[in-house]
Amino acid sequence: MSTTTRRPHAYAVGIELEPDKFYQPEKYTRGKMMRYKLRLLILLAALMTLACPAILAASQGDCLPYEPASVKLTGKTFLKVFPGRPNYESIKEGDEPEPAWLLRLAKPICVRADKQDEDPEDNVSVIHLVLRGKQFSQLRRLRRKGAITFTGTLFHAITGHHHAKVLMWVTHMQTP
């Protein structure tokens, strides 16, 4: 009669194994398995601790800065009318119309905060454009051609008149 050992799950399919070849219950005691899992978790935690700052630094490196640095963004513009004074709720109920030129980016961006009073923003796909003087007529002329590249400085929304999280003081615009 041969000496064979059956694993608990081997009974269902009738598999017999030679002793000490595959199944070694004394090798995998509950305490040893718990210590093995604990070591594995500590190793994973150490790897995550080392990897996360590198990932964060890489993602922050790809983000655009707020003013005074000048940046270029390309996208399609659209005009949207928001409710203005006195209640900022509804034009139909008597609030003044407040038109705003917005830039829809083809690919979302992130903006990093260099100062403590700035808020970083991720996944920004719409920018409120701040235009002056002749820039309005220039924008109307250029938007007939499709996408426009804007050069300017970014700043974070401060008041209720800012209709996106991030705004751009436009200094130059052209078709790409």
Residues sharing a CB contact under 8 Å with residue 120, sequence separation 6 or more, in sequence order: 63, 110, 111, 112, 113
pLDDT at 56: 46
Q: Mind listing the pLDDT tens digit for each residue in 85-130?
A: 888 889 999 989 999 999 999 999 999 988 776 889 999 999 999 9
Assess whether pLDDT exceeds 50 at residue 57: no
pTM listed for this prediction:
0.64
85 vs 159: CA distance, rounded Å: 13
Report CA-CA distances (Å) from 19 to 22, 24, 28, 37, 71.
Answer: 7, 8, 15, 26, 71
pLDDT at 58: 42
Mean pLDDT of the 52-64 span: 58
Angle at 63 between CA 81 and CA 67, to 5 degrees: 65
Residues sharing a CB contact under 8 Å with residue 76, sequence separation 6 or more, in sequence order: 103, 104, 143, 146, 147, 148
Task: Give the burial class of 129: count Cβ atoms within 10 A of its Cβ; 0-12 exposed, 13-18 middle, 19 or more buried.
Answer: buried
Q: Mind listing the pLDDT tens digit for each residue in 123-138?
A: 999 999 999 999 999 9
Mean pLDDT of the 147-170 span: 93
Q: Mind listing the pLDDT tens digit for each residue in 9-43?
A: 555 555 565 555 555 555 666 677 777 777 777 77
pLDDT at 7: 53
